[in-house]
Amino acid sequence: MELHRPVMPRETLEHLDAARSGLFVDATLGMGGHTELILRASPGNCVIGFDRDAEAIELAKQRLAEFGERFRAVHTDYRRIKDVLREEGIETVAGVLADLGISSYQLDTPERGFSFRSGQGFVESPSSSVTSPNDPSASPLDMRMDRSQKLTAADLVNGLSERELADIIFEYGEERASRRIAHRIVAERAKAAITTTGQLADLVVRAIHQKGHWRIHPATKTFQALRIAVNRELDGLDQFVADAIDALEPGGRLVVITFHSLEDRIIKQAFRFQSGRCLCPPNQPECRCGATKRVEILTRKAIQPGEDEIASNPRSRSAKLRACRRI
Ligand SMILES: C[S@@+](CC[C@H](N)C(=O)[O-])C[C@H]1O[C@@H](n2cnc3c(N)ncnc32)[C@H](O)[C@@H]1O
């Protein structure tokens, strides 16, 4: 199995200021790629890693076993950061990293249902142009990061109304053909339940009627939308930023890497608010949002991977890194 390659490794370490010794939280441990870099950056560094995917936790534990007590993994949602740190008896940390999205492991494991093969003889992964070595055409429509969760993508596809499906595909996939796709889903599921990623991918191709060569597969946006909805990926992201900043010692860093514009917009706005920028509507006579300056933003513009990194790791191509420092 190919290991997940940590995105923007040098930029991440630099913005976390990982060369000094301290305790760091890796809020999205995944395969432990970034955590390993942090642990190697200084012999005094310790990392507590969170992931809501129990399989990722096990793989990361094996990978990082050599670091002994310097590394600890917790199977949890990063939105519980406050409670988890309290439970662990930790008051403040030197840095928090959140590398949002899904890992190569999740993408490349067909039974997780994150990637798909359409009947067009074309293998594609959502949020990636990398050809998967597996044949995920018969993958179940699952997409749960936390497999103990009940709700799957199949439940949404077969259970929501046409209107609800169209709204999700439009809002989370930014897909202009959302209504046509939702209409086709409802027509197809009336004949038989839609249970595989291949079925859904083919149905989207037919709904969109897109001809010629695709740069990205026409179903990519629909898959992104369903994945976000199944995992409620955007819910509570701004609160997570506030809680992560609460946990930082003075001078501590928060680094967030996003993979699509919806996530990046929320992080950008949350950073602005935490840096004291008033978010009230311009015509409001007085500030009611309560913005107070708690951080200094270190990345005026989001940092993106260089051409070399994109060439060697195409999955990094849509990544954006933002960082701030607790004052
Ligand atoms: C892009 S991967 C992280 C890869 C990691 N930085 C590495 O280098 O191996 C994102 C990980 O975050 C996890 N994740 C996503 N949302 C989460 C959440 N709300 N709470 C905890 N983990 C989450 C996913 O399960 C996935 O394993």
Distance in Å, CA 49 to ligand 1 centroid: 10
* Under-70 pLDDT residues of the chain: 1-3, 117-137, 210-212
- Atom 27 in ligand 1: which residue has the minimum CA distance? 30
List, in order of start, the domains of the chain with CATH numbers. 9-101+234-326 (3.40.50.150), 117-231 (1.10.150.170)
Q: How far is CA 33 from CA 30, 71, 97, 228, 301, in A?
A: 7, 13, 12, 23, 25
- Atom 24 in ligand 1: which residue has the minimum CA distance? 102
- Whole-number pLDDT of residue 289: 85
- Whole-number pLDDT of residue 210: 66
Q: Express each pLDDT in 173-207 by its tens digit.
A: 999 999 999 999 999 999 999 999 999 999 999 99
Output the pTM of the full model.
Answer: 0.92
Give the helix/strand (H/E) hosting 141. Answer: none
Ligand 1 nearest atom to the CA of residue 259, by list position: 1
- State the virtual CA torsion across 294, 300, 301, 307 in degrees, nearest 10: -110
C-alpha to C-alpha distance for 301 and 41, rounded to whole angstroms: 25
Q: How many CB atoms lie within 10 A of CB 1?
A: 10
C-alpha to C-alpha distance for 97 and 28, rounded to whole angstroms: 7
Using alpha carbons, select from 85, 88, 32, 40 the residue that is nearest to residue 60.
Answer: 32
Q: Express each pLDDT in 285-307 by its tens digit.
A: 888 888 899 999 999 999 999 99
Pocket of ligand 1 (CB under 6 A): 4, 6, 28, 30-34, 50-53, 56, 77-79, 99, 101-103, 145
- Whole-number pLDDT of residue 252: 98
In degrees and rounded to multiples of 5, residue 96 shows phi and psi of -130, 130
Q: Express each pLDDT in 127-146 by its tens digit.
A: 433 333 345 568 999 999 99
- Whole-number pLDDT of residue 71: 98
Are 101 and 128 spatial neighbours (Cβ–Cβ below 8 Å)? Answer: no
Rg of the Cα atoms in the chain: 20
